[in-house]
Amino acid sequence: MTLAIIGGTGLTQIPDLLITGEQSLDTPFGAPSAAYVFGELDGRKLVFLARHGNPHRIPPHKINYRANIWGLQALGVTEIIAVAAVGGIGREMAPAVIAIPDQLIDYSYGREHTYFADDLEQVTHIDFSEPYSPALRARIVAAAEQAGIATVNHGIYGCTQGPRLETPAEIKRMANDGCDLVGMTGMPEAALARELGIAYANVSVVANWAAGVVAGEITMAEIEKNLHQGMNQAIMLLTAVAQA
Question: Is 9 annotated as ligand-binding?
Answer: yes
Q: What is the pLDDT of residue 235?
A: 86
Average pLDDT, the chain: 91
Q: What is the pLDDT of residue 1?
A: 59
204-to-10, 77, 230, 234 alpha-carbon distances in Å = 11, 21, 9, 9
Question: What percent of the chain shows pLDDT beyond 70?
Answer: 97
Which tens digit of pLDDT belongs to each residue from 59-87? 999 999 999 999 999 999 999 999 999 99
- Model confidence at 23: pLDDT above 90: yes
Q: What is the pLDDT of residue 123?
A: 74
Question: Is 151 annotated as ligand-binding?
Answer: no
Q: What is the pLDDT of residue 229?
A: 84
Which tens digit of pLDDT belongs to each residue from 86-115? 999 999 999 999 999 999 999 999 999 998
d(CA 202, CA 186): 8
Question: Is 52 annotated as ligand-binding?
Answer: yes
| Type of residue at 207 | A
Question: DSSP 3-state helix, strand, coil percentages of the chain (rounded to 5)?
Answer: 30, 25, 45
Residue 117's SS3 state is coil
Question: Is 185 annotated as ligand-binding?
Answer: yes
Which tens digit of pLDDT belongs to each residue from 174-210? 999 999 999 999 999 999 999 999 999 999 999 999 9
How much is the pTM? 0.92
Q: What is the pLDDT of residue 13?
A: 63
- The ranges assigned to domains in the chain are 3-114+123-243
Residues near 213 by Cβ (< 8 Å), separated by ≥ 6? 88, 89, 171
Question: Is 51 annotated as ligand-binding?
Answer: yes
d(CA 49, CA 60): 15
Q: What is the pLDDT of residue 190?
A: 98
Question: Is 54 annotated as ligand-binding?
Answer: no
Q: Could you tell me the pLDDT band of residue 12, with boundaries at 50, 70 and 90?
A: low
Section 165-182 average pLDDT? 97
- Model confidence at 216: pLDDT above 90: no
**Please, where are the H alpha helices in the chain?**
65-74, 134-147, 168-177, 189-195, 220-243
Q: Domain 3-114+123-243 - what CATH class?
A: alpha beta
- Model confidence at 16: pLDDT above 90: no
Q: What is the pLDDT of residue 10?
A: 59
Does 124 or 15 have the greater pLDDT score?
A: 124
- Model confidence at 132: pLDDT above 90: yes
Question: Is 78 annotated as ligand-binding?
Answer: no
Pairing of strands 98-99, 79-88: unpaired
Q: What is the pLDDT of residue 111?
A: 95
Residue 136's SS3 state is helix
